């Protein structure tokens, strides 16, 4: 391993480059906006708003699926990790609250949560506005297509105080711990690679000797002949 110190050095330098990128990471911007669906002309805070009505929940699920281009909406529990918490740095997630277990989904409220993560506040705000407008537009269009009068439309509205955009950035302590863990892993990996390289080279040496010896014998026979 000592003879192949350059292998370990290469692994450590690669880890250092990644670590510098982590320190330069300024974080991301995140928002989670809730669009609530209620019975016609009812506020979502009222006990009889219809947010728990099965038909309203089904309608909200259909809108979410269409936003997801035909895929079923993602589900989340109250303690679920936000989008940035699972490593996403730019993306959109359209989900519905799930009160079921691990193997079954049970939608308890006619709510759609739009989670957005991005590198800039401008991108997040622009995507947020477009996605909300898309949800409200689909809600109107699908109901107008069924010849329902506007007074009978299921009402879609943005829940107040859910549209704020937050800046998420790791602390210096968290970054330092991550870099130290990365360097430790690089040293271990580099040490293993150095041993493996040395082993492979040691296996090649006897083969090389035999090849050189056989060539010398052939040359001697040719010269003697």
Going along the chain from its start, the domains and CATH numbers come out as: 5-23+173-224 (no CATH), 26-168 (3.30.70)
State pTM to two decimals.
0.62
pLDDT in tens, 193-213: 777 776 766 665 565 555 555
Query: 7: which residues sit within 8 A by CB, 6+ positions away?
Result: 190, 193, 194, 197
Pair 185, 15: CB distance under 8 Å: yes
pLDDT in tens, 8-38: 777 777 777 776 665 565 678 999 999 999 9
Q: What share of the chain is helix, strand, coil (3-state, %, to 5)?
A: 50, 15, 30
């Amino acid at each position: 391993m000592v003879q192949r110190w350059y292998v370990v050095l290469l692994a450590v330098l690669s880890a250092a480059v990644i670590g510098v990128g982590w320190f330069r990471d300024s974080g991301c911007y995140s928002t989670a906006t809730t669009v609530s669906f209620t019975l016609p002309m009812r506020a979502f805070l009222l006990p009889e708003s219809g947010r728990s009505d099965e038909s309203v929940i089904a309608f909200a699920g259909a809108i979410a699926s269409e936003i997801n281009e035909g895929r079923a909406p993602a589900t989340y529990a109250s303690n679920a990790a936000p989008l940035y918490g699972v490593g996403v740095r730019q993306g959109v997630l359209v989900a519905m609250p799930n009160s079921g277990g691990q193997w079954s989904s049970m939608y308890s409220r006619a709510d759609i949560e739009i989670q957005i993560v991005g590198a800039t506040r401008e991108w997040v705000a622009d995507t947020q506005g477009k996605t909300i407008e898309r949800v409200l537009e689909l809600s109107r269009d699908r109901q107008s297509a069924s010849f329902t009068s506007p007074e009978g439309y299921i009402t879609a509205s943005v829940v107040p105080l859910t549209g704020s955009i937050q800046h998420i950035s790791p602390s210096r302590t968290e970054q330092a711990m991550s870099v130290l863990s990365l360097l430790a892993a690089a040293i271990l990996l580099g040490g293993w690679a150095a041993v493996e390289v040395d082993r492979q080279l040691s296996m090649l040496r006897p083969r090389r000797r035999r090849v050189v010896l056989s060539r010398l014998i052939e040359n001697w026979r040719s010269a003697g002949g």
